Amino acid sequence: MIVVTGATGTVGRPLVALLKDRGVAVRAVARSADPGMVPGVDVHRADLARPDETALALAGADALFVHPRAVGESAAELVRIAAEKGVRRVVVLSAINVDDDPAYQPSRFNGDRNKEVEDAVVGSGLPWVAVRASSFAANAIGMFGAQARAGDVVRASYAKFAEAPIDESDLAAVIARALVDDSLDGRRIPVTGPQSVTHEEMVAVIGEVIGRPLRFEEVPAELAARGLIARGLPEPFVNALMARYERDTGKPAPVTDEVERMLDRPARSFAQWVEDHADAFQAVAS
């Protein structure tokens, strides 16, 4: 049986659905998991900051997916309990920029501890795989969704900053393979989408897919930063985000072929991801 932590999140949901579709026995773990979330899946509510709840969540598990946001500072305790409970392999989600200077890793300022969680899994003594993901394609909803729904102009900073957005369903499929394929043991695998796409190009792709002439209008970084803080994003997070944009603008994002190699098919493009999530960008009917 495979235990999936972070089961209600952006990565956990498609991972649970995929494993279930393949007939794999899954236990989906989160604090607020809805018992009926995926019919046929053992849904287990647990706070992984509490060792007693972690121990119950891991009982009977053969393999474990470690979600860094779900586990956070409890990662070392989690893998210790996993070893005690007889778990035989661990796959951890991490980030492609995990070895970068922390000042340029915005997620750290939101409390994510990808590096520490990855290190705990690597040091667990259990067979492990670390899946280091590029930027999730779903980030585009937070960045551009509200403006695209409201009109044809999308204002943001750093038009030429590029990411290689990965479709979360590809990421889930890679993790699913790593959970059962021991030839991958001991690898830190950098997984990305198939192309480097700038902010400006992402907006153009969204417009093409939804059939609207979306126009990217670049605004100065300071103005954009103030807008993000006004929307409730923490200032240290916004500062790190802007520092990263400033440092890397105009450079292509790293692209790897790991998704294609692991799934025996091309990685899904940003355009394909937008097709699947078009509702997030369609104009709101008045």
Ligand X SMILES: NC(=O)c1ccc[n+]([C@@H]2O[C@H](COP(=O)([O-])OP(=O)(O)OC[C@H]3O[C@@H](n4cnc5c(N)ncnc54)[C@H](OP(=O)(O)O)[C@@H]3O)[C@@H](O)[C@H]2O)c1
11 contributes a contact to ligand X by CB under 6 A: yes
Q: Give the span between the Cα atoms of 227 and 64, in whole angstroms.
A: 39
Helix (H) or strand (E) holding 95: strand 89-95
Nearer residue to ligand X within complex by CB, 104 or 212: 104
- Kindly give the interhelix angle for 75-84 and 114-122, rounded to the nearest 10 degrees: 30
Nearer residue to ligand X within complex by CB, 215 or 276: 276
Nearer residue to ligand X within complex by CB, 112 or 170: 112
Name residue 87's beta-bridge partners.
Answer: none
- In this structure, the strands spanning 153-156 and 63-66 are unpaired
Among 81, 114, 162, 267, binds ligand X (CB under 6 A): 114
DSSP state of 144: I
12 contributes a contact to ligand X by CB under 6 A: yes
Nearer residue to ligand X within complex by CB, 4 or 209: 4
CB of 97 to ligand X, least distance (A): 8
10 contributes a contact to ligand X by CB under 6 A: yes
Q: Give the span between the Cα atoms of 114 and 222, in whole angstroms.
A: 28
CB of 152 to ligand X, least distance (A): 26
Nearer residue to ligand X within complex by CB, 68 or 194: 68
Among 70, 87, 173, 176, binds ligand X (CB under 6 A): 70
Nearer residue to ligand X within complex by CB, 69 or 244: 69
Give the x/- contact pattern for ligand X in 28-67, rule: CB under 6 A.
Answer: --xxx-------------xxxx-----------------x
135 contributes a contact to ligand X by CB under 6 A: yes
7 contributes a contact to ligand X by CB under 6 A: yes
Q: Give the span between the Cα atoms of 157 and 23, in whole angstroms.
A: 45
**Helix, strand, coil distribution of the chain in percent, nearest 5:** 45, 15, 40
The DSSP result for 157-205, as a single string, is S-TT-EE-PBPHHHHHHHHHHHTT-GGGTT-EEEE--SS-EEHHHHHHH
Nearer residue to ligand X within complex by CB, 137 or 148: 137
137 Rama sector, left if φ>0, alpha if ψ -120 to 50, beta otherwise? alpha
174 contributes a contact to ligand X by CB under 6 A: no
CB of 151 to ligand X, least distance (A): 26
Strand, coil or helix: 146: helix
Among 26, 112, 118, 203, binds ligand X (CB under 6 A): 112
Q: Give the span between the Cα atoms of 230 and 237, in whole angstroms.
A: 13
Binding positions for ligand X, rule: CB under 6 A: 6-12, 30-32, 46-49, 67-70, 93, 95, 107, 112, 114, 133, 135-136, 139
